[in-house]
Structure 1
Amino acid sequence: MIDFRYHLASIVSIFLALTVGIVLGTSLLQGPALRTTQDLTAQLAATKEELRTQVVALERLQAENDAYIASTTPERVAEVLAGERVLLMEAPDANPAEREAIQKALRHAGADYAGRATLTNAYVDQQRLDELDLLVNRLMPDGMAVDPAATTYDKAAMLLGSALMTNDPARVRTRNKETLTVLDEFGRAGLLSIDGEPGRRATLAVMIAPEDPFQGADTEAQAGALVSLAAGLDAAGRGSVLAGGATSTTPGGLIAALRGKNETVKHVTAVDTADTPLGRITVVHALREQLSGRAGQYGTGTGASSFPLMTSRSTPSPRR
């Protein structure tokens, strides 16, 4: 019979053999393994430095390209929007620098700048939806046809579109009889503020997307509220363009929400590079395209079909 001492001796022998093997293996392989690791580390460091140099060079080239395009913007958009009155609709938390740059491009294009209407976060606050519904129903003029399936935001979009936009050239720079009341009441409710004379109606509108995507449980409803408004401005006037940066094409972004609306996307144009000089030129030409009854999705984000857009200043056909 094999006794306990035999088992113990066997176990000790096994561990001794393992220890000797580990010591021998480490001693024999330490040099080659260490050299391989050092060589790989040096190679990765060199690759990282090379890539960093390339990134710096590309950023410098992009900055030079942007500077050149910005300097030539006046001639690239000259007279493209001559005779057209354009409203800026600023979404909550839009980037002021982006808005100012778009406003400047519109003026270079010869547009009659109507001013801007700036929405507050209260407009998309789902806790205030009932309050908005009561306000809209109270202000809705007699005779305005409303789809029974229209949401509160659809009706608000119709109301604001009627107050701010017209598709009749003879009524440009005029107010309808409800305009002042609507803008005043929306202002009193803390939903919107105005700068300039947006109440003297425009033919075209640019909505500037929020700088950051919406987040949280109400994301879809908040983005949908602004998409509805862009569609309402488009329907009441001769066209609208939604302008944003790359973040607006990510989940919760306003352009991403627009491009997910199969019907609205047929009428409202979106430019997802409006935070660049070339993108702002595209916004101007997209407005001109809207006058011809066409819409497009421009930029580099998901759902964009082409980039950039250039149109001639030909006489547009009736939009609707």
Structure 2
Amino acid sequence: MIDFRYHIASIVSIFLALTVGIVLGTSLLQEPALKTTQDLTAQLATTKEELRTQIKALERLQAENDAFIAAATPERVAELLRGERVLLMEAPDANPAEREAILDTLIQAGADYAGQVTLKDAYVDQQRLDQLGMLVNRLMPVDMPTDTAATPYEKAAMLLGAALMTNDPAQAGTLNKENPTVLDEFERAGLLSIDREPGKRATIAVMIPPEDPYEGEHAEAQASALVSLAARLDAASRGTVLAGGNTATLPGGLIAALRDKNETIKHITTVDTADTPLGRITVVYALREQLTGRAGHYGTGPGASSFPLTTPSKASTPSPHR
């Protein structure tokens, strides 16, 4: 007869065996998994260091390339813009270092610097749109052809284009006598500031977009306001280039907004690498191309069709833009 103590001992033995099995099984399973995890971590750490080394090497190579191109820039652009008067139009929150580097390259290309117009945040402030509308309606000459459906931004662009630009080289450096107070009125209204004498009209223009894309509910309207201005600068001149860094090709960026405009894109050239020495050379080549009546979109961002431009011939004489 098997007594109760035997049953107790049997049950305890069974549970003890189960416990030992679970412990042993878990340990055996943990060991391969732990080793696999350790191996994967080591591999990822190695890959990370390899990538970091590659990035540093590419950065050094890029720096060397930029230095080489910067040193070669004066020779590559010399005389290409000789005889042209250039205006810089700076959007609100543009990068000043980028603007100065572009200006240096334009001067190296022989362009006569007319001056700079810097738009203020108030220009694209949707809360001040009515104020802008009243101003442009007051300043608009009665004989200036205007679409009755034109927005305040489109009217402002027409006024500024006529005040700042000319497509007649013989008129370069002269005031538009039909409406000579436009810049003063816009400056007095807090919409822009000027440097040097941009009112003495230029023949070509470079517009520099905001460094960061517009965001929020008014982003599209703000970008559209600046696209309208770029279009009018181009229509009133021998050529206009919108030149910025790659961030301007992101959603809400000015280059992205312009490249989305089917009609405007046919006339204005864009360069989205103007924050690099090669991109700044491309800006000069693009202006030279504009003088022949052609436009393109250059760089590495969406909508860029080719990069870089072919070196223009210094012996060729560009035909009028319009």
SS at match of 1:117: strand
Label 1:192 to 1:179 Cα distance change in 2 as closer, same or farther (>3 A): farther
SS at match of 2:181: helix
CA distance change for structure 1 residues 163 and 15 in 2, over 3 Å: closer, same or farther? farther
Matches within 5 A, 1:72-221: 72-221=72-221
> Residue 195 of structure 2 aligns to a residue in which SS?
strand
What's the counterpart of residue 9 of structure 1?
A: none
Tell me, in whole angstroms, the C-alpha distance in 2 between the residues paired with 1:15 and 1:107: 90
Q: Which letter maps to 1:233?
A: L
1:270-298, Cα deviation, whole Å (9 max, x unpaired): 10000000000000110010011011000
1:319 aligns with 321
Q: Unaligned stretches of 5+ in structure 2?
A: 1-13
TM-score by length of 2: 0.92
Q: Deviations over 1:245-289 (max 9, x none)?
A: 011000110000001100000001110000000000000110010
For residues 38-61 of structure 1, give each alpha carbon's deviation from its aligned partner in whole angstroms, at most 9, with x where no partner exists.
111111111110010000000010
Distance 1:77 1:30, change over 3 A: same
Residues 17 and 131 of structure 1, relative CA distance in 2, 3 Å threshold: farther
Q: Give the match's secondary structure for 2:180.
A: helix
Q: CA deviation at 1:142?
A: 2.1
The DSSP-based 3-state class of the residue aligned with 1:205 is strand
Q: Contact conserved, 1:220 with 1:252, CA < 8 A, in 2?
A: yes
Q: Is the 8 A contact 1:164 1:179 kept in 2?
A: no
Change (3 A) 1:41 1:171: same
| TM-aligned CA distance change 1:284 to 1:31, over 3 Å | same
Contact 1:241 1:271 in 2 (8 A): yes
Q: Which amino acid aligns with 2:115?
A: G
For 2:51 and 2:191, locate their aligned partners in 1 and report how far apart those are by CA, in whole Å: 48
RMSD: 1.8
Q: Percent identity?
A: 79
Cα displacement string for residues 76-133 of structure 1 (whole angstroms, at most 9, x for unaligned residues): 1000000000000000011110000010000000001101010000000000001001
Distance 1:218 1:15, change over 3 A: farther
> 2:313 is aligned with what amino acid?
S
Q: Name the structure 2 match of 1:274.
A: 274
- The one-letter code of the counterpart of 1:307 is F
Question: What count of residue pairs does the alignment treat as equivalent?
Answer: 309
